[in-house]
Structure 1
């Protein structure tokens, strides 16, 4: 990195609301002894990023002004004196829960999340603790690698670490957003049967090309849970990745087999639900909340992406100057991920 360059462009928010996200000039941070400085290549947007800007995601933890966006890929340009894990020139990706390395999460993991409350990657440079960064998969570009830290890891942690997914089991995925697309690719690669619910036949056909075995259009087939049971000979699915939330959780219980697992990873339709407990009790349904995953799982997943040659699906890559438009696109929905190319 040039010694003359001391400032960088960064998107910074001073208050809730997308209209308060502004492109500013700030000082380039210097890495402490245990940190690395990366030149950001690309970031990807998640529902979390929009919810933070909108003020509906742990608003009490947001430190104004702040640089948003957690999921980042870039190249190491400076390292602290104690850093052994990486060297200048290495390509890395961020890890949302920067202190959660393995095992069960600590009670205060949210205090160490990137993109709020810790500074995010929507800037030309970013500081990461060396131990919390992960080598980027060699087979992926920065744009592709930036999509992995939340969306892909959430799926991997849900299906592999918690779900112990086995070949031949049935996985139901809701919609065609970034998480669900990764769900199709990962479940298919691991030998599962994949059922996708969507409002669009066109998106359904795209999902088939990625490995989906069955498509349920929930507009023309509103009782999609009944259709899941029909497609599984009355048994139900082994795994459901619940991204909708709200009252739809009852439909997921109906669509799951006895002792099946519902992994709650999203709340698109609401953060509260009126859950009918009798089916949960009689079916002995496992309902597991998932907040992404630990660093060890991210490292294992990255190896699997190289092994199975999984390529993230990106709907659009926006230039750095058009970050606000990228957020607006995310709000409207996308087939796959929305990425912002930084450098």
Structure 2
């Protein structure tokens, strides 16, 4: 089979190669991969900023395809099923535990830039009929993370949700929050990106370059109450404002560190308002299955900014690293 390997820590160190076709062990399936989608973790692996990656490796955590072979004992899926494999195939359900997250596709296991991949059958989720393979590949990490964000604050009609940025997690969070009946305040540095968010249902738009004190806008918009949920994707530059924008008893769901992973926090901001600060590193196979059911029930379509051919992988990584995109970047197989 053909594959793309990352051979050293560099955004340009990708090599097309040929590898043996995988064979399904008992309990496994072989997927003919049709598409992949990038996450920031893929860039971190490619730049040597994510510990534990074993090089050379077939990179990219998220992908989608159809099942072409079944191992002994597999009964939950069938040949021809369109599926998405989970990023961490050993984390089936329950809370995060070290042994459940040790195996990671595209980091310690082969990822999605190959013709075929063998994975445990219990780690795959069926792709909704209304989505194509590229849209399906956009789901595993970003949609699961966003779904857990919305669940963490029990978002429902009447809730207010603040979302920072317009990347994959942010836009899935917007779509899930609107499907749950919430009012959404979207914060971004770009008016063009904000308008894309409006088209997805965002109720209020704040350009933080024009209005650096965006947390005050949130408080004004909510008559001083604040937001039930703040989806914090930026890190140091915005974290204090995220705490300020949250309502008493609210949740700050932190998933990103684009502006830096180290920050100084006034603990009274958390203690005085009894805030819940929730860290997240995606979720289990069961969480992904729930997110996919929500996508299917609400006919949600992932925002894929651009789809690039598998022989142009370096360009896809460069686009994601630049931050100039909105939503997800897809990679189509030949």
> Aligning the two structures, in what range does the TM-score lie when normalised by the shorter sequence?
over 0.9
Q: Which of 289, 306, 315 matches 2:305?
A: 315
**Structure 2 counterpart of 1:93:** 84
Counterpart-to-counterpart distance in 1, 2:286 and 2:55: 31
Counterpart-to-counterpart distance in 1, 2:14 and 2:236: 29
Counterpart-to-counterpart distance in 2, 1:211 and 1:285: 27
Counterpart-to-counterpart distance in 2, 1:229 and 1:109: 40
Q: Which of 225, 233, 256 matches 2:215?
A: 225
Shift of 1:247: 4.1
**Structure 2 counterpart of 1:194:** 184
**Structure 1 counterpart of 2:144:** 153
Q: Retained in 1: the 8 A contact 2:153–2:250? A: no
Secondary structure of 2:12's counterpart equals helix
User: What does 1:251-330 align with in structure 2 at a 5 Å threshold?
Assistant: 251-330=241-320
Shift of 1:97: 2.0
Q: Which of 206, 209, 229 matches 1:216?
A: 206
Q: Retained in 2: the 8 A contact 1:152–1:182? A: yes
Moved over 3 A (4+): none
Relative to the length of structure 1, the TM-score reads 0.95
**Structure 1 counterpart of 2:36:** 43
CA-atom RMSD, angstroms?
A: 1.1
User: What does 1:93-242 align with in structure 2 at a 5 Å threshold?
Assistant: 93-160=84-151, 162-242=152-232
**Structure 2 counterpart of 1:5:** none
Give the unaligned 5+ runs of structure 1: 1-7
Q: Retained in 1: the 8 A contact 2:153–2:228? A: no
Q: Retained in 2: the 8 A contact 1:247–1:274? A: no
Number of residue pairs matched by the alignment: 333
Counterpart-to-counterpart distance in 2, 1:101 and 1:281: 34
Counterpart-to-counterpart distance in 2, 1:238 and 1:50: 31
**Structure 2 counterpart of 1:64:** 55
Shift of 1:107: 2.3
User: What does 1:66-81 align with in structure 2 at a 5 Å threshold?
Assistant: 66-81=57-72
Which piece of structure 1 moves more, 268-277 or 229-238? 268-277
**Structure 1 counterpart of 2:6:** 13
Q: Retained in 2: the 8 A contact 1:42–1:143? A: yes
Give the unaligned 5+ runs of structure 2: none
Shift of 1:328: 0.8
